[in-house]
């Protein structure tokens, strides 16, 4: 018992009541950027099944994204957290506070847990820590955009208390040009 409490610091939590492995949730550092990038690439492969064109991402855009993440790591209105299992980054969440007409909104920009470690409570803990940050920053609500086809993730957010509120509707106006926002 004594040894366990020594190993588990304030940022750790028991990993599915398994006392051998433990999970550490901590703020991302500059050195984590490549691990985060690897997770981002995994997330893109996962999302391609919902919209292959949307998730066709250029190398130029990946660089822009990495630069934004490095800025986010240092920004007081952003929070980037990583989940570490046995000193390996297995998940991350990125959120930021946006002020619209004096109302503070906590936006979740990215969330991914590597496929082998899903369903073990890591995503739930990352969301919880992000919501704590939003509350500390006096956000009134938290928002996330998620593809309608991404049903497992919708369930994860619903379990965290999120409710479906608005539909983002799209109509394709040009049948020959692909919509590729990350090019």
Edge-to-edge strands, sheet with 88-100: 12-15, 18-27, 78-85, 88-100, 103-113, 141-144
> Do 27 and 20 contact (CB within 8 A), yes or no?
no
Residue 32: Cβ-neighbour burial (10 angstroms; 0-12, 13-18, 19+): buried
Q: Which one of the spans 20-28, 48-56, 150-158, 169-177 is the region binding ligand COA (CB under 6 A)?
A: 150-158
Among 12, 68, 109, 150, binds ligand COA (CB under 6 A): 150
* # binding residues, ligand COA (CB under 6 A): 20
Q: What is the DSSP letter of 137?
A: T
> Token digits for 88?
């390996």
| Cβ nearer to ligand COA, comparing 56 with 153 | 153
CA distance linking residue 115 with residue 39, whole number of Å: 10
Touching ligand COA, residues 76-115 (CB under 6 A): 111-113
Contact between 119 and ligand COA (CB under 6 A)?
yes
Query: What is the contact mask toward ligand COA in residues 10 to 49, using x (rule: CB under 6 A)?
Result: ---------------------------------x--x---
Residues within the interface to ligand COA (CB under 6 A): 43, 46, 111-113, 118-124, 144, 146, 150, 152-153, 155-156, 159
């Amino acid at each position: 018992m004594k040894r366990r409490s020594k190993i588990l610091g304030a940022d750790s939590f028991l990993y599915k009541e398994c006392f051998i492995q433990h999970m550490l949730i901590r703020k991302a550092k500059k050195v984590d950027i490549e691990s985060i990038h690897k997770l981002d690439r995994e997330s893109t492969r996962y999302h391609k099944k919902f919209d292959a064109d949307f998730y066709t991402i250029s190398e130029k855009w990946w660089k822009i994204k990495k630069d934004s993440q490095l800025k986010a790591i240092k920004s007081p209105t952003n929070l980037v957290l990583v989940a570490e299992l046995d000193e390996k980054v297995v998940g991350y969440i990125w959120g930021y506070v946006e002020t619209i007409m004096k109302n503070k909104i906590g936006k979740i920009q990215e969330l991914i847990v590597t496929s082998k470690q899903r369903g073990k409570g890591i995503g739930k803990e990352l969301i919880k820590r992000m919501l704590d940050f939003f509350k500390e920053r006096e956000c009134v609500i938290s928002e996330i955009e998620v593809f309608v086809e991404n049903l497992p993730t919708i369930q994860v957010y619903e379990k965290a208390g999120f409710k479906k509120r608005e539909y983002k509707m799209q109509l394709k106006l040009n049948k020959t040009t692909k919509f590729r926002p990350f090019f």
